[in-house]
Amino acid sequence: MTSLPPAAMPPSPAPPSPTPPTPPAGASGAPTGPADDAPVVIGDDTTGRSRAAIRWRRLRWPLTVFVVVALLVVFLAVVRPPTSAAPYAPDNPEQGGGMAVAEVLKDQGVRITHVTTVAEAVSAAGPDSTLLVTPNPSFFADDQVSALNRTGADLVVLNPDFGVVGGVSRNTLDSTYGEADAPVAPQCDDPTARAAGDLALRPGLTDTSTAGDDVRPVLCWPDGLGAYAYARLDFPDRSVTVVTDPAVLRNGTVLEEGNAALALRMLGQHEDLVWLVPDPMDVSTGDDEPTPAELSQVNELMPPGSAPVALIAVLAAVLLALWRVRRMGPLIVEDLPVLVRSAEATRGRARLYRAARARGHAAAGLRASTADRIATRLGLARSSDATTVVDAVVAATNRPSQQVADLLYGPPPADDAALAELARRLDILESEVHRP
């Protein structure tokens, strides 16, 4: 007996033998060999301290990165003053920003509230304050304009679109289009305008008020063609100022002519200034926000104690999630076997035939295979030629010789339908051939 190579030596004790001829019915799978020598495991050789160390080692790098990023963010936030890039924003130091005017106003003791939605503006503005609406690229909805009108604050509107012009002026003003070439005098009685002096503001307002209107606008800086750049309406409780050229506020142009004087006088009337830089996506009006009184009404609609019960439900759901999220030990991995079907080669070849419209090849394969089977069945030699096979088939089936020859050795089919028909007729022919 030759020595056993290692591959043939089973590392485990003798397995159950699939010994024929009497396969043991119950013994297959019965444990063999002593299993008691399996090792006994107590614990996983860790202590509370070592587990804490493992957790620390696992977490320290992510934690370090997180802390560094957090420190960086805090540092940048502290070092760099908050600025924005939004046009006309009070914290925008760029050419198109409004920071210059805002800083001067702050130095003069004006408290500036920077808001971006109508709702915030409505809640921040009130009587004895000024509400500035910077140029807005979008349209305000009608109810937003009326919400701005209702605040009781003095309203300063820069370069409004025509809907806003009508809305804030109670239709005593209308927009138009004008050009400004050189500075002109205000040519009106408004003290603010007179203080600013000559300005090159782009005009864009016309007076549409009639004698029946309660308050008629004061218009300044005309272009001589009936368009004005500045209008002021003094309602009994508040004033509305409309300026068509926002250059008065821009950092880049505020120092030209009397722009600064006009801006500071318009906006510095009150100690409180609400600076609205409209957000195009904003649709709020300040009306739909429930007031505390409304909030208590909503609570009255709910059954008493529903909020704490909801809280309990949320906490219970959190505990349920904690229960489900903890897996019972790790997943067990297993190498997967190769999953390639043997028939894929045949299918691929069929698709190639079809894609190339190789009906000749396909038909030849079907014919040769049928002829091969028929020849075997009729006891012909494998080397038999076509004539012998045809003669034998004719003898076995009583079909005309020409038909059999056409079927087995005819020309390739013209189209797919002909190929299918050929396959069907070959099947019929084969079924007719019986052993002689």
Give the shortest CB-203-to-other proteins separation in angstroms: 60
Among 38, 211, 293, 381, binds other proteins (CB under 8 A): 38
Note whether 18 binds other proteins by CB under 8 A: yes
Q: Which is nearer to other proteins, 238 or 359 (CB)?
A: 359
* Interacting span for other proteins (CB under 8 A) from 131-139, 158-166, 182-190, 368-376: 368-376
Among 78, 211, 293, 333, binds other proteins (CB under 8 A): 333
Among 100, 362, 380, 408, binds other proteins (CB under 8 A): 362
Give the shortest CB-234-to-other proteins separation in angstroms: 51
Among 366, 377, 405, 409, binds other proteins (CB under 8 A): 366
- Residues 287-316 contacting other proteins, CB under 8 A: 304-305, 307-309, 311-313, 315-316
Q: Which is nearer to other proteins, 30 or 255 (CB)?
A: 30
Q: Which is nearer to other proteins, 78 or 322 (CB)?
A: 322
Give the shortest CB-167-to-other proteins separation in angstroms: 44
Q: Which is nearer to other proteins, 139 or 353 (CB)?
A: 353
Residue-wise burial string across 388-406, b where 16 or more C-beta atoms lie within 10 A, e elsewhere: ebbebbbebbebeeebbbe
CA distance 328 to 323: 11
* Interacting span for other proteins (CB under 8 A) from 52-60, 134-142, 197-205, 422-430: 422-430
Cα pseudo-dihedral 7, 12, 14, 18, rounded to 10? -70
Q: Which is nearer to other proteins, 341 or 434 (CB)?
A: 341
Long-range contacts of 422-429 (CB under 8 A, 24+ apart): 422/363, 422/366, 422/367, 423/366, 426/366, 426/367, 426/370, 429/370, 429/374, 429/393, 429/397, 429/399, 429/404
Among 50, 299, 346, 402, binds other proteins (CB under 8 A): 346
In this structure, what are the phi and psi dihedrals at residue 325, rounded to the nearest 5 degrees?
-75, -20
- Residues 398-417 contacting other proteins, CB under 8 A: 416-417
Q: Within 255-330, where are the H helices?
A: 259-267, 292-301, 306-325
Give the shortest CB-177-to-other proteins separation in angstroms: 60
Give the shortest CB-297-to-other proteins separation in angstroms: 18
Query: Three-state DSSP class for 355?
Result: helix
Note whether 61 binds other proteins by CB under 8 A: no
Note whether 424 binds other proteins by CB under 8 A: yes
Cα–Cα distances (Å) from 234 to 55, 119, 239, in that order, read 71, 24, 4
Cα–Cα distances (Å) from 241 to 13, 263, 358, in that order, read 100, 11, 85
Q: Which is nearer to other proteins, 76 or 336 (CB)?
A: 336
Give the shortest CB-386-to-other proteins separation in angstroms: 16
* Residue 45, token pair as written in the block: 């050789």
CA distance 154 to 132: 8
Among 14, 281, 301, 414, binds other proteins (CB under 8 A): 14
CA distance 240 to 218: 10
Q: Which is nearer to other proteins, 29 or 81 (CB)?
A: 29
Among 52, 345, 386, 395, binds other proteins (CB under 8 A): 345
Please state the separation of Cα 368 from the chain's center in Å: 60
Note whether 23 binds other proteins by CB under 8 A: yes
- Of 374, 350, 349, 357, the closest CA to residue 427 belongs to 374
Q: Is 343 left (phi over 0), alpha (psi -120 to 50) or beta?
A: alpha
Note whether 42 binds other proteins by CB under 8 A: yes
- Residues 370-389 contacting other proteins, CB under 8 A: 370, 372, 382
What lies within 8 Å, CB to CB, of 229 at 6+ separation is 178, 180, 199, 201, 202, 203, 204, 205, 220, 221, 222, 223, 243, 244, 245
Give the shortest CB-240-to-other proteins separation in angstroms: 46
End-to-end CA distance of the chain: 56
Among 301, 343, 381, 414, binds other proteins (CB under 8 A): 343
- Residues 187-246 contacting other proteins, CB under 8 A: none
* Residue 356, token pair as written in the block: 């190339």
Contact 105, 260 (CB under 8 A): no
Q: Which is nearer to other proteins, 326 or 434 (CB)?
A: 326
- Residues 79-98 contacting other proteins, CB under 8 A: none
